Every structure is written in structure tokens, then in C-alpha cells.
Structure 1
Amino acid sequence: MIQGITWLLGFQLVGETLSYASGGHVPGPVIGLALLALFLLATRRFSAAAAMEQSTGKVADGLLANLGILFVPAGVGIIQHLDLVISMGLPILVAILVSTVVTLVVTVWAFTLAKHLEQQWRRKP
């Protein structure tokens, strides 16, 4: 388990370093995860990579199984400031609804654009 978390944190550190060096346009954990995925794909044939994949998989499963614990502080914060949430309830509700609708519209637009581009790409000889 120590080995798996070391791999995950190592790739996150590399991702954070690259993110900082490039101006921070892409979050470091995203870069680290992409590098980890590429590394695992590139070294898939080696037996050492299988052990690494197994150890990081166990750690990732453990993190995902306990992900709910990470949301407890947010819930406690909401309860602590419940009077503020109630007094600002309408603006919060409007912000949630508008952002949800905008997210859905942009997601559908991006999907249809990607599908259209894929169809055009497949038609080319």
C-alpha cells in the first residue's frame, strides 16, 4: 500500500511541477494522472508494471471507498452557517439552477460537435 500511494503522489508531484512550470493552465493532479496512465500503458508488458498497477489500484480503490469522508467538512460548514444559507437561499438556488442548465447545454453542444467532427473524419477517404 505504501508503494501504491508513493506512485500516486510521485506522479502528482511531477504533474504539479509541470503545471507550475507551464503557468498552471492545467491542474497538476490532472497532468499527473495522465502521465500515470501513459506510463502504465507504455510499460504494460513488463512484470514490474503489473505490480505497480496492482498496488496503485488497491490504493485508488481504498480512496474511492472512503471518498464520502472528504465531504463531511463541507456538510459541517453548511450546518454551521445555516443561517447564512437560509438568508441567501434564493441566490444560491438560482446559481445552482443556472449553472446546471448551462453545464447541460455546453455538454450537449460539445457532444454533438464531437460527433459531427467524427462523422466528417470517417467520411474522408
Structure 2
Amino acid sequence: MVPALLCLLGCQLLGEALVQLTRAPVPGPVLGMLLLALWLGLVARGRIPAALGQTADVLLAHLSLLFVPAGVGVMLHLQRIAAEWLAIVAALVLSTLLAIAATAIAMRAVLRRLPPPADDSDGRDAHG
């Protein structure tokens, strides 16, 4: 489990370092996750090492604990949230709509690249 955690933290550290060096407008952990996905897809050929899979399962099982610091942060800034609620709601709605639109555009692009389904129209219905 320790080597797998070191792998995950190493990817995060590499992502953070790349963001600091390039001033990329992306959070370091996101870039680290992208690097991990590229490594798993290209180098490991989609096979997730057992230790990494088990460690990820443990982290996912306790994912709710990772939201405690964010919840505490929200509680500390309730006055600011109350003062800027309209901008927060507008940003949430707009970002949700943009995410849905981006997903739809990406899905259409992927579907265009897939081969069409085989045509089984030989004059009979599906039940023979």
C-alpha cells in the first residue's frame, strides 16, 4: 500500500511541479491525475497494478472523510457566502450548463468516430 500511495503522491507532486514551472491554469492535482491516467493508458496498457487498485479502493471507501476540510472551510466563510450568493449561484448554474454542453459535444465527436452498427436487415424481424 505504501508504494501505491507514493505513486499517487508522486503523480500529484509532478503535477504541482509542472504547474509551477509552466504557470498552467490547471490545479496541480488535476494535472497529476492526468499524468497517472496517461501512464496507466500508455505504459501500463490499461492494466492497473493490484496494489494501486487496492489503495484506490480504500481511498474511495473513505472518500467522505476527504470532504470534511472543505465543509469546515465553507462554515468559516458563511458571511462571505451570504454576501455573494447570487454570484455563486450564477457561477454554479453556468458551469453546470457548460459542462453538460461540453460533454454532449465530446460524445458526438466520439460517436462520429465509431463504426456504424452492423445492419442485420435481411427481411426478418428480430425474433426470427
**Shared fold (TM-score, shorter chain, > 0.5):** yes
Question: What is the CA deviation profile of residues 72-123 of structure 1, one whole-angstrom value per residue up to 9, with x for unaligned ones?
Answer: 1111111111111112111111111111111111211221122123348xxx
* Counterpart Cα distance in 2 of 1:113 and 1:36: 23
Letter in 2 for 1:6: L
What TM-score do you get using the length of structure 1 for normalisation?
0.67
Answer with 1 or 2: which has the greater Rg.
2
Mapping 1:1-125, distance limit 5 Å: 1-10=1-10, 12=11, 15-16=14-15, 19=18, 23=22, 27-41=31-45, 53-119=49-115
Letter in 2 for 1:28: G
* Counterpart Cα distance in 1 of 2:17 and 2:79: 42
* Counterpart Cα distance in 1 of 2:39 and 2:105: 29
* Counterpart Cα distance in 2 of 1:40 and 1:83: 48
Tell me the percent identity. 30
Which protein, 1 or 2, shows the higher relative CO under an 8 Å CA cutoff with sep ≥ 6?
1
Backbone CA RMSD of aligned residues: 3.3
Long gaps (5+) in structure 1: 45-51, 121-125
Long gaps (5+) in structure 2: 117-128
Query: Of Structure 1 and Structure 2, which has the larger fraction of its residues in helix?
Result: 1
